[in-house]
A and B are shown apart, each in its own frame.
Chain A
Amino acid sequence: MIGNYNPENTNISATDLPPVKENLIIQVWKNRKARLGILIIGFFAIFGLIGQIHTPYPAAYDNFPTWLPPSFKHWFGTDYDGHDVFSQFMYGTGVSLYVGAAVALIAVSLGTLVGLVSGYYGGIVDNAFMRFVDILLILPTFPLLVILSTYFKPTVTSTIIVIGILSWPFMARVIRSQILTVKQRPFVQASILAGMPGYQIMFKEIFKFALPLIIINAVYIFVGAIVAQAGLAFFGLGDLSSINWGTMLYYAQSQDAVIYYAWWWIVPPGLSIAILGIAANFFGNGITEVFGERAGEV
């Protein structure tokens, strides 16, 4: 019945393409949304970085005429006290983004570690961590931020710590959920059968699944922290001697910039926060797509 069928003649074809390891970074760059997000965030980052080193005028210098609208001499005009708004904005971008990045770093590291360990080992360890996380999550964020801020001496660093403490629990939860679903899959059992020790399985096999979540959430926490810090500063709870988006908005509000129609003082920091948020979204969507393509049915 098999006829003249000869198994030896047939080649099980792998694919028509030569086997090439696809580079993650190139793939991310090729994705339009991710690229747009990266470009926008990158622009702000470079802008802010340069601002730490050099601005058109010293950001703290306040002897310019006050309330000047934008001109060739002062691109973003001047504020109530005679500062050059553009210089302030440029310098402040660096500070704001630094806060965002620092918080993101803390929250991601702590959150991922706790989420990984909790999810993989389960049992008492998981219970303990998660109850602690639950407590932190139940407390209302902003009031808590306010209260904590009054206890710490308001500096940029203390703000970072405070916001960081409140950002990591969410991360831990998200990562833990992902780990729990992945843990059940046969290939994890296969790794156990291969003789890999637990921590190795955690970091080498399962961690990769958390990567897209980590990246996306890192960017969201980054932007969220910038907004939180700006919010705190706006309410006067930050370090008012620091120059950043939040303090700019604080002074703008307290000095009645609206009444003076000084839009050039309000718009740059405010609009930037919004644009950064949008960029984060684009980036997040793009990354999700890329990771989805890479792994097929992950």
Chain B
Amino acid sequence: MAEPSHNAGRNQAPRAREIIVTADGPLLVSGPVEIVMPDGRRVKSDRPVTALCVCKRSRRQPFCDTSHRCRVHADEIVQEEDRAQQTPAATG
């Protein structure tokens, strides 16, 4: 998460920006980042880590909104029938 310019004055190679490719969801990019959209619009994210949508299902492009998650009918959740997620315990 270090800014590449941080180490410029020291005798070290700048640390490459880390991008994590998740198996099940978004690309995780160490921020802050500015994303250029297909129409030329620039979108900024100041977060320490930004989750970029790659499944194209997010309604908040270019960011992940967890729309990649498996959507199932309650009667399909056999083992979890006692604890099907009804509402967030809160927001984090």
Task: State yes or no: do A and B come from one complex.
Answer: no
Give the A-binding residues of B (Cβ under 8 A).
Answer: none
Give the B-binding residues of A (Cβ under 8 A).
Answer: none
